[in-house]
Every structure is written in C-alpha cells, then in structure tokens.
Chains A and B, each alone.
Chain A
Amino acid sequence: MNPLNKSIVQTELDRFLNREVYLHLETTNGAYAVHRQESNMTVGAYIRNGLIRFGRGIITGAGPYRVGLKMEIGWVYAEGLTDYEIDPEGRLLLAGHDQEGRLAVALELSLSPFEL
C-alpha cells in the first residue's frame, strides 16, 4: 500500500458510483487489547461482501482521511484512513494503520465478491 493520495482515491470512488459493489468494511483494536492493557476495551466490527450501491462517494480530511458513501437509504462511513492501493484485480483498498503499522480500519470496494 502507499500513503493515501486523495485525488487518485476520489477518481477511484467515482468508478464505483451507481453500480452493484461488494464492500469490506472493518475496524478493530485487536483481539489482545484488553489482554495488553486492562483499561482498554476490545472492540471490532467487520462486514465482508456487503452488497451496496452508492450515488455519491467522497474522500475528505487532511490525513488521516475520511470516506462517506451515500446510498439511497443509508451511509457507509470510515475514518482514520492513511494508505491506499488499487490491487491487480482492480479493487480499491483503503486502510488506516497505526504508528506500528497495524491495521485499525479498512474500507474496500470490489465489483466481484472478496474471497472468503
């Protein structure tokens, strides 16, 4: 992945407008958060292969970045995004990594289902 380039990512988001799109959306502080420090709370959520369609998709912020995808009856939102990649299958991969390079948030879009 490379440091997120806002204008490239905006062009990429536009490529997915008004189409059936497979979504991977995730946030996590790791299964060991409480184990490492008891005052922490282990939290995380992920959706793999949510099938969505959005008519407006925007990246904003000065880094780390935020993305909002506006659907007919709802929203997809992620914040803390730092890196991006368009992989060989043409999928848009966005992620936020902490200072030690650990993934904390991910938002990915694909025209075909992600592998299980």
Chain B
Amino acid sequence: MEEHVLVVFPHPDDETFGCGGTIAQFTKSRVPVTYVCGTLGQMGRNMGRPLFANRESLPIVREAELETACQALGIQRLIQLGLRDKTIEFEDPELLTDRLEQIILEVKPSLVLTHYPGYAVHPDHNALGEVTIRAVSRLSPQERPTVYVHAFARDCQDQLGKPDIINDISDVAEIKLAAIRAHRSQSQVILPRLSNGQFKNPSSKNSYNHMLTRESFWIYRFS
C-alpha cells in the first residue's frame, strides 16, 4: 500500500491519458495523490471542435479542464510549475531539479509517476522525466521512493523489454473516461474513436484500443 503518490508530467492531460486509471485506483483506495504539472500546454494544436479556443485563450481553457480532470481522478493537490509548453528542455536543469527536490522533500512520496526519459516521444516529457529522476537520485537509496516511468516511444519495448507493471484499469474505466472528457479541448478529436468501441477490439491497430483497459509502466532502476 502506497502512502503518497507524486505524479510529475508537463502537460494538462498527460496525467489522464497516460495513467488516469492508475491514479484513480490509488485515490479510490484513499492514497493521497499530488500532481506536479509543468506547463499549461500553451502550444497545443487541438482547439476544440468546433473551434472554441485560440492560441491565447488555450492556457486558460486548459487550466480549467485540468482542475475538472483532477477532481474526476480524485487528485487532492495540484502544483503548477508555471513553465511554458515546448521549452522545458531549454531551461536550466539544475534549477528545475532543485524545485522538484524541494517538492519531493515536502510531499515525501512513497511512489513517483513520471515519463521515462528518452522513451516518451515529446521533448517536454523526456526533459521533465529526466529532472524528476535526477531529483529522486539526490536522495539516499534508503530514502528514495519507487519511480514508475511511463514510456510510449515506438521502439520502447525493443529497448526496454516488457513493462514491469501492466495495470488492469477496467474497474476505473468510467473515471478515466470522465477525466478524458474533462480535457475537452484535447479529447474531442479522439473521443469518437473511444466511444465506438475500437478501444475494446484487441485486433484493432488503433493506438487508443488499450486506453481504457490497461496502463503500463517500467520501474526505474537507479544505477
């Protein structure tokens, strides 16, 4: 049983699409979850269908969506780092590591969820995952929380082998779906694909087909 889970991702909706079911299972069993969200996804391309956001209003829209999604998932505390979308890899990693370290020392998580650096496709994912792991590695091995890393690069299974954790989330699929719906500006395009049952069809090559049934993680091994 975890004591406290700290989730660290750069964009509003990363927490939902990648591990919303896992978060919901923790909060359902009364494990507190704190979410550190790096940016407001200011540079997202999805603007709603029909369009209801623009480049300047998008961060305001996404901040509200994030709050609704956190409520749906039962996330108790949201910490925003206030960074800008697409720029994390250009920030000073030492300063970011210091901030993450402070948060980790304050929250004292038993488990951290973040992206697997190098295997998480978006440069922001890789950069924030990397500084999070650096921050955890500053702790002594005895003090370190377990770190689950999320990876979805095309070659990640070739490089990393099978995930260490394959989590069946079908019992909380409805909660995850509610959080996906909360991120309305970003999910409208894929929702039809989710709701017409493609996600349930194992033969479907649709990349959304497992989104409501399972979530996978590797356990980060500190050298």
Report A's interface with B, CB cutoff 8 A: 1, 24, 26, 28, 30-32, 35, 38, 44, 46, 83, 85, 87, 91, 93, 95, 97, 100-104, 106, 108, 114-116
Q: Across the A-B interface, give the 3 residue pairs with the lowest CB-CB distance, nearest first.
A: A102-B45, A101-B49, A31-B122
- Alpha-carbon distance between A102 and B86 when the two chains are bound, in angstroms: 17
Q: How distant is B58 from chain A, measured CB to nearest CB, in Å?
A: 9
**Interface secondary structure of B, over-half rule:** loop
The answer to whether A93 and B56 have CB atoms under 8 Å apart is: yes
Complex Cα gap A85–B58 (Å):
14
Does B54 have its Cβ within 8 Å of any Cβ on chain A?
yes
Interface residues of B (CB under 8 A from A): 43-51, 54-57, 59, 84, 86, 121-124, 152-154, 188-189
Among A32, A85, A102, A115, point to the contact of B54 (Cβ < 8 A).
A85
Give every chain A residue within 8 A of B122 (Cβ-Cβ). Answer: 31-32
CB B80 to nearest CB in A, in angstroms, measures 14
A115 to chain B, nearest CB (A): 8
CA–CA, A52 and B86, complex, Å: 23
B51 near A1 (CB under 8 angstroms)?
Answer: yes
B51 partner, pick from A32, A38, A91, A97, beta carbons under 8 A? A97
Question: Which A residue's beta carbon lies closest to that of B48?
Answer: A101
User: How far apart sit A48 and B78, CA to CA, in the bound complex (Å)?
Assistant: 27
Do residues A87 and B56 form an inter-chain contact, with CB atoms below 8 A? yes
Chain B residues within 8 Å of A91, by CB: 56
